[in-house]
């Protein structure tokens, strides 16, 4: 009778199943994802020179960076290419380093791609840093008629009145798009619940991890969010569209990651089949 396989053997199988494709940097074209294509179109058609900003919330930590990080990267890059000012913030403490590092990394890459152009802090993006208080922060932002006065300073301690981006931003109406990237339970709900007033509700687009895809679809279906990036698959297809639009763009890592994941799924499916075979084998042997 085949005893159940020891879990350490299973862990080893998973390790081998994943490491081999990664060693050879093996990657295939990602599967087209409709929601990612619609979101790309939505960002493409945003008016860019009216001083209104895109509020990007990075509510993920080191544990979710693989999926949410890739999504935020492709969307912020698209906004920066279209010269739409980006205001970054987070209601999740662990997002602090990404709020600083991510836009700078994208700006550096864009500056390498376009040596004559500049993307600098204060004019193309600013970082409001991590804000304590969850829904109460969003409630105050929605209610405020002078955001610079309410939010006081950015993460680097500069008064917002000093930063060029904030010269035209006064109320919620000056935020023309909200991008919320998270896999945390209930985080998107508070943006949907509290970042709105009776007269104006900024369109909210969402980058979810694959575990929260089903919930995200409820909100997409009920119209509470206007766009969705589903896990790394969404980011990989968005990145594919960006590369089509600007061929000089370097391939980012979402493509290799997407392939590695495909292999990982096959390992899990094989284990499920193996589990059932062992059970059937034992049952037939015991009769």
Partner 1 sequence: MNYRSRLLRLFTFLGGIYFFLEFVLPESFSLAWLGAPDTNITFGKFTPQISNGFITVGAMAIGLGLYNLLSIHGAKVAFRRKGWINSVALLVGLAAMMIVTSRDWAGSRQVASDTEQLVMLRNFTQAIAADEESKAPVPPVITRNAALLSALEKTVSEVRERVTSQLSTLAQDGLSPDTPQHRVLATANAELQVALTSVAQLQVALAADPASTSRHVELATALSQAAVAYRQILSTAYEQSLTKKVYNFFFIGIFSSLGTAMFSLLGFYIASAAYRAFRVRSTESALMIIAALIVMLGQIPFGMWIWEGFPELRLWILNTPSAGARRAIEIGAAVAGLVMAFRMWLSIESESFSEPKK
Partner 2 sequence: MSWEAATIFVGGLGTLAIFSFLAKENPFYRIFEHLYIGIAAGFGIILTLKSFLWPQILQPLLGLDIQTYPDGTRSQAYEPLLLLYIVPMLFGLLYYFIFSARHSWLAKLVIGFTLGISGGAAFKGFFNGTFPQITGSFKPLLVFSEQQFDWFSSLSNIVFIATLLSVMYYFFFSFRSESRALGKVSASGRWLIMVCCGAYFGSTVMARMALLVERLQFLMHDWWRVVLGMWT
Partner 3 sequence: MGLEHATVGSLVLLALMIAPVLYYIHRARRGDQLYVRRIRAVDAIDEAVGRAAELGRPMSYTTSITGVGPLLYACLGILYHIGSKAALYRNKLLSPQSDPQVMAITEDVLRDAYRDQGRLSSFEPRNIQYLSDEQFAFAAGYMGLIQREQVASAFLFGSFAAESLILAEAGQQIGAMQVAGSVNIEQTAFFVCTCDYTLIGEELFAASSYLTNEPVQRGSLYGQDRAKLLIFCMIIMGVAIATYNSWATHSGSRILPTIESLVMG
Is position 30 an interface residue for partner 3 (rule: CB under 8 A)?
Answer: no
Which of the stretches 46-54, 84-92, 206-214, 244-252 binds partner 1 when contact is defined by CB under 8 A?
A: 206-214
Q: Of the listed pieces 14-22, 152-160, 177-185, 226-234, which binds partner 3 according to CB under 8 A?
A: 177-185
- Compute CA distances 67 → 144, 182, 216, 228, whole Å: 33, 9, 15, 13
For residue 272, the tally of other CB atoms under 10 A from its CB is 9
Q: The tokens of 215 are what?
A: 């919930």
Which of 17, 21, 30, 61 touches partner 3 (CB under 8 A)? 61
- Name residues contacting partner 2, limited to 145-204 (CB under 8 A): 152-153, 183, 189, 192-194
Read off the tokens for 192: 């949907």
Residue that the structure tokens 């890059």 belong to: 77
Report the nearest approach of partner 2 to the CB of residue 82 (Å): 28
If we measure between CA atoms, which residue out of 90, 86, 68 comes closest to residue 76?
Answer: 86
**Contact string 86-125 vs partner 3 (x = CB under 8 A):** -------xx-------------------------------
Least spacing, CB of residue 11 vs partner 2, in Å = 5
Nearer to partner 3, 32 or 186 (CB): 186
Q: Is the dihedral of CA 183, 189, 194, 199 positive or negative?
A: positive
Six token digits for residue 160:
């917002």
Three-state SS string over 127-161 comes to EEEECCCCHHHHHHHHHCCCHHHHHCECCCCCEHH
Enumerate binding residues for partner 2 (CB under 8 A).
8, 11, 14-15, 18-19, 22-23, 63-67, 93, 96, 129-133, 135, 152-153, 183, 189, 192-194, 209-211, 213-214, 218, 221-222, 224, 231-233, 253, 256-257, 260-261, 264-265, 268
């Amino acid at each position: 009778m085949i005893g159940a396989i020891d879990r350490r053997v299973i862990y080893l199988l998973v390790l081998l199943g994943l490491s081999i494709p990664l060693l050879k940097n093996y990657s295939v074209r990602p599967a087209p994802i409709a929601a990612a294509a619609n979101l790309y179109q939505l960002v493409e058609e945003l008016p860019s020179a009216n001083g209104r900003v895109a509020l990007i919330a990075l509510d993920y930590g080191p544990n979710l960076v693989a999926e949410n990080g890739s999504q935020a990267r492709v969307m912020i890059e698209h906004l920066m290419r279209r010269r739409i000012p980006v205001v970054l913030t987070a209601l999740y403490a662990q997002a602090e380093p990404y709020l600083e590092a991510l836009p700078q990394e994208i700006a550096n890459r864009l500056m390498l791609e376009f040596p004559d152009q500049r993307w600098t802090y204060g004019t193309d993006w600013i970082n409001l840093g991590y804000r304590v208080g969850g829904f109460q922060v969003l409630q105050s932002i929605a209610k405020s008629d002078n955001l610079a006065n309410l939010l006081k300073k950015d993460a680097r301690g500069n008064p917002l009145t000093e930063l060029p981006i904030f010269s035209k931003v006064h109320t919620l109406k000056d935020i023309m798009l909200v991008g919320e990237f998270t896999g945390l339970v209930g985080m998107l709900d508070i943006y949907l619940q509290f970042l709105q007033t009776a007269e104006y509700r900024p369109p909210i687009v969402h980058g979810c991890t694959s575990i929260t895809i089903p919930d995200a679809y409820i909100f997409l279906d009920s119209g509470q969010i206007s766009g969705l990036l589903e896990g790394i698959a969404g980011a990989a297809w968005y990145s594919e569209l960006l590369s089509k639009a600007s061929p000089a763009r370097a391939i980012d890592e979402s493509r290799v990651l997407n392939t590695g994941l495909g292999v990982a799924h096959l390992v899990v499916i094989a284990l499920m089949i193996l589990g059932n075979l062992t059970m059937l084998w034992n049952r037939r042997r015991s009769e």
